[in-house]
Amino acid sequence: MSRLLITGGTGYIGSHSAVALSKTGHQVVLYDNLSNSNRTILQSLGLIVGHHMSFVEGDVRDTKLLISTLTSHNIDAVIHFAGLKAVGESVEKPVDYYANNVQGAISLLQAMQFAQVKTLVFSSSATVYGEPRYLPLNESHSTIATNPYGRSKLHVEEMLADIAASDADWRIACLRYFNPVGAHESGLIGENPSGIPNNLMPYLAQVATGQIPELSVFGDDYPTTDGTGVRDFIHVMDLAEGHILALTYLSRNTGWHAVNLGTGKGYSVLDMIQAFEKASGRQVPYKIAPRRAGDVAICYSDPKKASELLKWRAARTLDDMCASTWRFHQFRRLSVES
């Protein structure tokens, strides 16, 4: 059992990971500036885990507040989810992305160094591989970022490698997520982006609920079985459990480690539509639209390193991902209507 600080803890992946970590006996403190989440989630988290979760409202660039949080809660390790994550927005607002993601990480590292907390799990992304040169993508694939978001992730990964090289006490895991989707089985928490969603799954869900009339499928002329883009969609609770095992691994190993968290399987956009229609019992109207700038045709992981190092493997199916997303959206509509 450890005492963990979870930055970005009220966000999508942070909240699901907080549940998984809390259920395995870890004590968690959530830290978030609520720029892309809402404190009402604390009530849902309390219902799921059966007790109140500690929450500190703050920005990761507030080094003083981080130091006082780390010391007052006697934190053993940090999981750093906080940051901005929209590729398109990062091209328009690069300064915001470097400020939140890179400056935020520097501030966190300064605070951790001061408080002598030297175990860190960092939310990285498959985006650091850029255009795949071969598939499946393993951790030895070259890294290159093609947009400010990806560069911010790569800068932080490189900083963390330097820190681990400078001081043998650091224990750092950079978890490279593929495409997290789905929701906690309770339906109480899930992905709830504000405005029109950028990503496929929340968009699909909003079309199925009738909030958006139709989905645009970005390209049907890719060199894939049905011409649409292929991704490694991973259930957010599988991803959450990967963090537990990463912490276990770090409790026994020092140094810097980059590990993919994906299923190793790819599904196309049309596969996803079909699976979502099955889970929801609703039709998902769609039209074929031009390719989206910056998209790659196919991206899926080699999950071998995660299996060998962390003893982690994704267990949930595509049907689980769609069914849990649908359950969350139904609950949400009910609570909005009531």
From CA 155, how far away is CA 184, in angstroms rounded?
A: 31
10 contact choice in ligand UFG, ligand NAD, none (CB below 5 to 8 Å, kind-dependent):
ligand NAD
Q: How many residues bind ligand UFG (CB under 6 A)?
A: 21
Q: Which residue is nearest to ligand UFG (CB)?
A: 229
| Shorter beta-carbon distance to ligand UFG: residue 59 or 232 | 232
The answer to whether residue 301 forms part of the interface with ligand NAD (CB under 6 A) is: no
Q: Which residue is nearest to ligand NAD (CB)?
A: 11
Q: Are 241 and 26 a contacting pair, CB within 8 Å?
A: no
SS3 196: coil
The answer to whether residue 231 forms part of the interface with ligand UFG (CB under 6 A) is: yes
| Shorter beta-carbon distance to ligand UFG: residue 45 or 279 | 279
The answer to whether residue 209 forms part of the interface with ligand UFG (CB under 6 A) is: no
The answer to whether residue 258 forms part of the interface with ligand UFG (CB under 6 A) is: no
Give me the residue label for tokens 């003893």.
311
From CA 320, how far away is CA 315, in angstroms rounded?
A: 10
Which residues, in sequence order, are CB contacts of 58 under 8 Å at separation 6+?
31, 32, 33, 65, 66, 69
From CA 286, how far away is CA 19, in angstroms rounded?
A: 35
Question: C-beta of 178: minimal distance to ligand UFG in Å?
Answer: 5
Question: According to CB under 6 A, which residues from 162 to 201 bind ligand NAD?
Answer: 177, 179-180
Which residues, in sequence order, are CB contacts of 218 under 8 Å at separation 6+?
229, 269, 289, 290, 291, 292, 295
Residue of 149, 203, 222, 267 marked catalytic: 149
Strands (DSSP E) contained in the chain are 3-7, 27-32, 54-57, 77-80, 119-125, 171-177, 179-181, 215-218, 230-231, 233-235, 255-261, 267-268, 286-289, 298-299
35 contact choice in ligand NAD, ligand UFG, none (CB below 5 to 8 Å, kind-dependent):
ligand NAD
Read off φ and ψ for residue 138, nearest 5 degrees: -105, 175
Site string for ligand UFG, 142-181 (x = CB under 6 A): ------------------------------------xx--
End-to-end CA distance of the chain: 39
Partners of residue 268 on adjacent β-strands: 230
From CA 140, how far away is CA 299, in angstroms rounded?
A: 15
269 contact choice in ligand UFG, ligand NAD, none (CB below 5 to 8 Å, kind-dependent):
ligand UFG
| Shorter beta-carbon distance to ligand NAD: residue 82 or 270 | 82
123 contact choice in ligand NAD, ligand UFG, none (CB below 5 to 8 Å, kind-dependent):
ligand NAD
Identify the sign of the CA torsion 41, 104, 306, 137: positive
The answer to whether residue 262 forms part of the interface with ligand NAD (CB under 6 A) is: no
Helix/strand/coil percentages in the chain, nearest 5? 45, 20, 40
28 contact choice in ligand UFG, ligand NAD, none (CB below 5 to 8 Å, kind-dependent):
none
Question: According to CB under 6 A, which residues from 82 to 101 bind ligand NAD?
Answer: 82-85, 100
Q: Are 158 and 106 a contacting pair, CB within 8 Å?
A: no
Known catalytic residue: 149? yes
Q: Which of 5, 22, 28, 32 binds ligand NAD (CB under 6 A)?
A: 32
Q: Which of 146, 199, 254, 274 binds ligand UFG (CB under 6 A)?
A: 199
104 contact choice in ligand UFG, ligand NAD, none (CB below 5 to 8 Å, kind-dependent):
ligand NAD
Among all residues, which ones are annotated catalytic? 149
List residues binding ligand UFG (CB under 6 A): 85, 87, 125-127, 178-179, 198-200, 203, 215-218, 229, 231, 269, 292, 295, 299
List residues binding ligand NAD (CB under 6 A): 7-8, 10-14, 32-37, 59-61, 81-85, 100, 104, 123, 125, 177, 179-180
